[in-house]
């Protein structure tokens, strides 16, 4: 029997019985952990208000050696997420973040940098970062941290300077002018605005990226890059892409 204590983000929950959940937690110290939250579906349970998706909690999980599921003993709410999910563009971005984490993280492997990335993105959204920028920031850094997206200063085929940047899903990276001349598939060109946004995301904290660097056109140019990279990493396209597109269209109509 072991007891795991850690800070965690709630990734998801599925019904087990009429009164209990199976909860998926992304813990800082132990990576993804699944546990039974007994009685948590009851209104008076001390766990009921702490298990919303992407809430930050301090948890204690007890599990037997080699058991797939532990038992969630406590989950103390450190920071809720309902304030963000209450706004549609933010909710769409968080649904995508949640899906990537659920599908892309292995169980039982601590990922400190990814854990801090989630906290940075949530804090940035609370500070007023546009949902489309927060999503791109998360997706690009998730891909970088997991070795999927190469740095934008080398052609993945020959090592030359790839600018102006064109992303090739087939090679999984940037191609220079010479190498992309022979590509028959679809390339995703960025253009100057999108290149500036990419550079800002890779060099600055989310809260310090100026609105002038995150235009709608620049974000639209980067979106196919991150979606193709995530599809390659996750094994299939992101299911949340349609809600993201809808939220971005709603956001555009409100401008």
pTM: 0.92
DSSP string, 194-218: HHHHHHHHHHS-GGG--GGGS-HHH
pLDDT the model gives residue 249: 57
pLDDT the model gives residue 247: 58
Q: Given the structure tokens 């072991």, which residue do they identify? A: 2
pLDDT the model gives residue 154: 94
Contact, 58 vs 43, CB < 8 A?
Answer: no
**CA-to-CA distance for 141 and 169, rounded, in angstroms?**
17
pLDDT the model gives residue 252: 54
**CATH code linked to domain 2-80:** 2.40.50.140
242's CB contacts (< 8 A; 6+ apart) are none
> Residue 142: is its pLDDT beyond 80?
yes
> Residue 246: is its pLDDT beyond 80?
no
- Confidence band (pLDDT; 50, 70, 90) for 88? confident
The tokens describing 122, both together, are 């949530």
Q: Where are the domains of the chain?
A: 2-80, 83-254
Q: Given the structure tokens 């489309």, which residue do they identify? A: 132
The tokens describing 229, both together, are 């990279």
pLDDT the model gives residue 250: 57
> Residue 10: is its pLDDT beyond 90?
yes
Which helix (H) or strand (E) segment is 136 a member of? Answer: helix 131-145
Evaluated on CA atoms 205, 253, 91, 87, the torsion sign reads positive
Q: What is the mean pLDDT of the chain?
A: 92
* 188-203 residue pLDDT tens: 999 999 999 999 999 9
* 200-217 residue pLDDT tens: 999 999 988 988 788 889
User: Could you give the maximum distance between any two Cα atoms of the chain, in Å?
Assistant: 65
% of the chain surpassing 70 pLDDT: 96
The sheet with strand 173-174 has its strands ordered as: 173-174, 166-168, 188-189
Superfamily of domain 83-254: Recombination protein O, C-terminal domain (1.20.1440.120)
**CA-to-CA distance for 211 and 36, rounded, in angstroms?**
43
Long-range contacts of 196-199 (CB under 8 A, 24+ apart): 197/136, 197/222, 198/140, 198/152, 198/165, 198/222, 199/152
Contact, 65 vs 102, CB < 8 A?
Answer: no
Q: Which one is predicted more confidently, 177 or 253? A: 177
> Residue 14: is its pLDDT beyond 90?
yes
> Residue 251: is its pLDDT beyond 60?
no
**CA-to-CA distance for 64 and 20, rounded, in angstroms?**
19
> Residue 135: is its pLDDT beyond 70?
yes
Which helix (H) or strand (E) segment is 93 a member of? Answer: helix 88-104
> Residue 52: is its pLDDT beyond 90?
yes
């Amino acid at each position: 029997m072991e007891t795991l204590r850690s800070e965690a983000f709630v990734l998801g929950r599925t019904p087990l019985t009429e009164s209990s959940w199976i909860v998926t937690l992304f813990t800082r110290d132990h990576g993804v952990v699944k546990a039974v939250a007994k009685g948590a579906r009851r209104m008076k349970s001390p766990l009921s208000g702490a298990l919303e998706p992407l809430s930050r909690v301090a948890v204690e999980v007890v599990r037997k050696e080699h058991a797939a599921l532990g038992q969630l003993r406590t989950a103390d709410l450190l920071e809720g997420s309902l304030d963000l999910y209450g706004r549609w563009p933010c909710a769409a971005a968080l649904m995508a973040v949640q899906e990537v984490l659920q599908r892309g993280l292995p169980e039982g492997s601590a990922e400190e940098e990814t854990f801090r990335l989630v906290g940075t993105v949530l804090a940035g959204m609370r500070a007023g970062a546009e949902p489309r920028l927060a999503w791109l920031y998360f997706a690009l850094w998730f891909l970088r941290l997991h070795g999927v997206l190469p740095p934008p200063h080398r052609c993945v085929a020959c090592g030359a300077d790839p600018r102006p940047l064109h992303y090739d899903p087939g090679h999984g990276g940037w191609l220079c002018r010479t190498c992309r001349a022979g590509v028959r598939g679809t390339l995703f060109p960025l253009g100057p605005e999108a290149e500036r946004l990419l550079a800002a995301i890779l060099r600055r904290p989310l809260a310090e990226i100026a609105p002038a660097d995150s235009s709608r056109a620049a974000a639209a140019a980067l979106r196919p890059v991150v979606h193709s990279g995530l599809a390659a990493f996750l094994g299939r396209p992101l299911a949340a892409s349609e809600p993201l597109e809808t939220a971005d269209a709603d956001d555009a109509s409100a401008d």
